[in-house]
Chain A
Amino acid sequence: SQQGEEDPQALSIQEGENATMNCSYKTSINNLQWYRQNSGRGLVHLILIRSNEREKHSGRLRVTLDTSKKSSSLLITASRAADTASYFCASKGAQKLVFGQGTRLTINP
Chain B
Amino acid sequence: DVKVTQSSRYLVKRTGEKVFLECVQDMDHENMFWYRQDPGLGLRLIYFSYDVKMKEKGDIPEGYSVSREKKELFSLILESASTNQTSMYLCASSLPSWGTNEKLFFGSGTQLSVL
Contact = CB atoms under 8 A, between A and B. Distances in A.
A2 B102 contact: no
- Secondary structure of the B side of the interface? strand
A31 B102 contact: yes
A44 B109 CA distance: 12
B48 A42 contact: no
18 contacts: A1-B59, A33-B103, A35-B104, A40-B111, A41-B108, A41-B109, A42-B4, A42-B107, A42-B108, A42-B109, A43-B104, A48-B102, A92-B97, A95-B97, A96-B45, A96-B48, A96-B58, A101-B41
Interface of A: 1-2, 4, 30-31, 33, 35, 40-45, 48, 88, 90, 92, 95-102
- Nearest 3 A/B pairs, CB to CB: A42-B106, A101-B42, A99-B43
Interface residues of B, number: 24
